[in-house]
Amino acid sequence: MSQTIVIAHLYPREMNIYGDMGNIISLVKRLEWRGLRAEVRQVEIGEAFDWEAVDLVFGGGGQDSGQLAVGADLVRHGDKLREMAKAGVPMLVICGLYQLFGREFVTGGGDVIPGIGVFNANTRAGSVRMIGNVVAKNDELGALVGFENHSGATKLDKGQLPLAKVSKGCGNNPKSGYEGAVSGEAIGTYLHGPVLPKNPQLADKLLLAALKRRHGVQELQPLDSSFELAAAKVAATRPR
């Protein structure tokens, strides 16, 4: 039987915009192309969830209204998710859920939505809407490309590692010059698009971390990523 990993998909109904679902498809396909398998389990508001079986956590972006809808339920899972992040379970959370994996998000209307503190960061809605193409460089992964659309401005605490240094676009906020956050194998980012099909090195980093923990896999079978990398190249030359 082929090696399987379990992916937890956080609130796909409320938190799924600008193609975020494409990230799940990318993870599943990159496993299948290597003869491996993923089982995707959806985390839904108010429902019980078995975290013990989970090898990788994914959550997308959403409107403020979506964040308000899922916020309290995410906090219900907060202890478990923090424990898993500390244990090195790979996670990718985008925009709206990135904000809620920080300590809190304060909306433009003044609602305070508590987060779960996987990242030492706070987000507050600002008057500038950060919208457009982004290119940001990570030391290990190289240039990451994507599309941002948020008014929440995220401030990382001193000592909180960002994901990448921005060369086009805003990322965390209009002033910092940095994009996203990294705590161990947990990654938060503003990059939509979806981000993984155009950044296969990021997809494979998450998959390898999951396969290593569950099955002791030390390296991934290489794939031909020429289409994906060609897409990334085009995205990188798009105007802001």
Select from 3, 4, 151, 167 the one that contacts ligand GLN (CB under 6 A).
Answer: 151
- Rounded to an integer, what distance in angstroms lies between the CA atom of residue 42 and that of residue 73? 13
Stretch that binds ligand GLN, among 46-54, 84-92, 138-146, 148-156 (CB under 6 A): 148-156
Q: Are strands 164-168 and 178-179 parallel, antiparallel or unpaired?
A: antiparallel
Q: Are strands 186-189 and 91-94 parallel, antiparallel or unpaired?
A: parallel
- Rounded to an integer, what distance in angstroms lies between the CA atom of residue 197 and that of residue 25? 9
Catalytic site residue from 9, 150, 170, 192 = 192
Q: Could you say whether residue 64 binds ligand GLN (CB under 6 A)?
A: yes
- Rounded to an integer, what distance in angstroms lies between the CA atom of residue 90 and that of residue 84? 9
Binding mask 1-20 for ligand GLN (x = CB under 6 A): ----------------x---
Sheet holding 37-43, edge to edge: 37-43, 4-10, 56-59, 91-94, 186-189, 181-183
Q: Could you say whether residue 61 binds ligand GLN (CB under 6 A)?
A: yes
Select from 7, 22, 38, 62 the one that contacts ligand GLN (CB under 6 A).
Answer: 62
The answer for residues whose C-beta is within 8 angstroms of residue 224's C-beta and 6 or more apart is none
**Has 192 been annotated as catalytic?**
yes
Select from 22, 71, 96, 146 the one that contacts ligand GLN (CB under 6 A).
Answer: 96
- Rounded to an integer, what distance in angstroms lies between the CA atom of residue 182 and that of residue 162? 6
Q: Could you say whether residue 197 binds ligand GLN (CB under 6 A)?
A: no
Nearer Cβ to ligand GLN (152/162):
152
Minimum distance from residue 171 beta carbon to ligand GLN (Å): 12
Minimum distance from residue 207 beta carbon to ligand GLN (Å): 24
**Has 170 been annotated as catalytic?**
no
Nearer Cβ to ligand GLN (37/155):
155
- Rounded to an integer, what distance in angstroms lies between the CA atom of residue 90 and that of residue 94? 14
Contacts to ligand GLN by CB under 6 A: 17, 61-64, 67, 95-96, 149-152
